[in-house]
Amino acid sequence: MAARPGDSEMRQRRVPVCRLEELGERDARGFSLDQPTEGHTAFVVRKGKAVFAYRNVCPHAGNPLHWKPHAFLSKQRDLILCSVHGATFEIESGKCIGGPCPGRSLAPLRVSVEAGEVVVYPD
């Protein structure tokens, strides 16, 4: 049977993360891409009205970025921070701008806000 237009979108995996209002203007939320699992395998970051999503893997050494649940941002909440080696990343692009992996980037994920809910499409 031939695929109908839109079939691929209907099968696309959708991971609801949280309600947009649960994230502050400069806030992050870790979540699991695969249930059940321990820890955060991805995270979303809100900066103003925009939301970005990345895999929780530092491009320098492959370790998770956070040091405690949902702790992905610098003290000033203006950069993503790797708690292991201190690498810093731009929120909007995921590009490393300080630390041991300059020029490398976090792996982005497609994210959208649908009816007030932050949703990630990992595939």
- Residues with Cβ within 8 Å of residue 106, at least 6 apart in sequence: 54, 55, 57, 58, 59, 65, 80, 89, 94, 96
Domains of the chain: 7-121 (2.102.10.10)
pLDDT band at 29 (very low <50, low <70, confident <90, very high): very high
Separation of alpha carbons 64 and 87, rounded Å: 12
| Beta pairing partners, 112 | 119
Q: Which residue has the tokens 């300059």?
A: 102
Separation of alpha carbons 122 and 53, rounded Å: 9
> Among the ranges 15-24, 29-38, 59-68, which has the highest mean pLDDT value?
15-24
Q: What is the pLDDT of residue 31?
A: 94
